[in-house]
């Protein structure tokens, strides 16, 4: 998303970048400059209603090896109020890593599942966030975890959800509790009961290029698969509200390379529109991501400004 932040280093994630003074300074510079008030103005001007803000477990941290960012979340909440945007605060990186991917903050093993104290600390951080913004009129939702490693029964994840919901229910007044489907929506559906007279919200992420079976089927198959997804979403919404917390217009390179270059933009535009027709039936959808350093299909803003997305 922002490769320039890693220039001159061999860091592979935010954790390793944070281990040096120069790396921490690069992160601080990024925090100060990447998102400005003009971004919130742009979102309002383009009729965006809700934004999803990812944060790490080091949000409040004073540890030398991490760069806290609570002041920027406070500022973003102020901007959301000013520009009339709802906010979903997403605990995106959890201690020990919940999936072993770089976007959890630290690549490697998903050690979050191995230590109960890591899971307890995650609940503590969620509670701290909830208390800080409980009365904020634009605090739409709080997401308990982002993309935890999928397992068949996931008993530890289910216990974590229930523990977190119990802690947060007494604090939150109008804010939704959002839980991840862990890429197994049928298995995780209904894992949280209703609370505050509202159903819990299940977050589903849909990325066509990364599905293991996609290399065995044609791109056209995915357009049909989207209609099956629409039917699945309808069934899932009988137990809880759902959101599409992440999706994109990215098409697998192997598929895109088979299309004449002068027809690729039209295909991507059609692909995006097909997804929107399905996702608009859910409570909300969030394109990943709002912007990156360079234009392209990972950059929502560039897609809108180029006319690729309407």
Give the residue from 116, 117, 129 showing the smallest Cα distance to 60: 129
Within this chain, do residues 199 and 220 fall inside the same structural domain, yes or no? no
Within this chain, do residues 49 and 59 fall inside the same structural domain, yes or no? yes
Interatomic CA distance for residues 276 and 234, integer angstroms = 15
Domain boundaries, position 11:
1-34
Within this chain, do residues 10 and 66 fall inside the same structural domain, yes or no? no
> Dihedral through CA 44, CA 67, CA 59, CA 292, nearest 10?
30
Within this chain, do residues 83 and 155 fall inside the same structural domain, yes or no? yes
Q: What is the pLDDT along the chain (310 residues), one digit of tens a residue?
A: 999 999 999 999 999 999 999 999 999 999 999 999 999 999 999 999 999 999 999 999 867 778 999 999 999 999 999 999 999 999 999 999 999 999 999 999 999 999 999 999 999 999 999 999 999 999 999 999 999 999 988 999 999 999 999 999 989 989 999 999 999 999 999 999 766 666 689 999 999 777 777 777 777 888 999 999 999 999 999 999 999 999 999 988 788 888 899 999 999 999 999 999 999 999 999 999 999 999 999 999 999 999 999 8
Residue pair 241/197 in contact by the 8 Å Cβ criterion: no
Last residue of a domain, one of 205, 229, 248: 205
Give the predicted TM-score (pTM) of the model: 0.95
Give the residue from 120, 177, 181 showing the smallest Cα distance to 154: 181
Measured between alpha carbons, how far is residue 80 from residues 11, 36, 83, 171 in Å?
Answer: 32, 12, 5, 21
Last residue of a domain, one of 186, 205, 224: 205
Q: What is the CATH number of the domain that holds 190?
A: 3.20.20.80
Percent with pLDDT over 90 in the chain: 84
Q: Which two tokens stand for residue 279?
A: 């996702």
Within this chain, do residues 50 and 187 fall inside the same structural domain, yes or no? yes
**pLDDT tens digit string along 107-159?**
999 999 999 999 999 999 999 999 999 999 999 999 999 999 999 889 999 99
Domain count, the chain: 3
């Amino acid at each position: 998303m922002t490769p320039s932040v890693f220039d001159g280093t061999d860091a592979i994630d935010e954790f390793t970048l944070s281990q040096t003074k120069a790396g921490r300074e690069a992160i601080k510079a990024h925090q100060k400059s990447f998102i400005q008030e003009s971004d919130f103005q742009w979102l309002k001007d383009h009729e965006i209603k809700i934004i999803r803000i990812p944060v790490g477990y080091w949000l409040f941290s004073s540890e030398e090896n991490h760069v806290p960012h609570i002041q920027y979340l406070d500022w973003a909440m102020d901007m959301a109020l000013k520009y009339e945007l709802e906010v979903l605060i997403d605990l995106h990186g959890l201690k020990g890593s919940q999936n072993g991917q770089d976007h959890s903050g630290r690549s490697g093993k998903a050690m979050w599942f191995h230590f109960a104290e890591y899971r307890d600390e995650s609940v503590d951080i969620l509670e701290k966030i909830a208390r800080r913004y409980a009365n904020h009129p634009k605090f739409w939702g709080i997401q308990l975890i982002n993309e935890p490693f999928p397992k068949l029964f996931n008993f530890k994840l289910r216990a974590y959800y229930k523990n977190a919901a119990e802690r947060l229910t007494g604090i939150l007044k109008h804010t939704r509790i959002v839980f991840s489907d862990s890429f197994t929506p049928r298995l995780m559906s209904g894992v949280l009961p209703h609370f505050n007279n509202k159903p819990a919200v299940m977050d589903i992420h849909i990325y066509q290029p990364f599905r293991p079976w996609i290399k065995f089927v044609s791109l056209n198959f995915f357009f049909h698969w989207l209609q099956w997804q629409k039917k699945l979403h309808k069934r899932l919404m009988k137990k809880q509200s759902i959101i599409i917390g992440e999706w994109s217009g990215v098409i697998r390179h192997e598929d895109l390379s088979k299309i004449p270059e002068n027809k690729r933009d039209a295909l991507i535009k059609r692909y995006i529109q097909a997804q929107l027709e399905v996702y608009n039936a859910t409570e909300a959808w969030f394109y990943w991501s709002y912007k990156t350093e360079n234009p392209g299909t990972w950059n929502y803003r560039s897609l809108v400004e180029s006319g690729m997305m309407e």
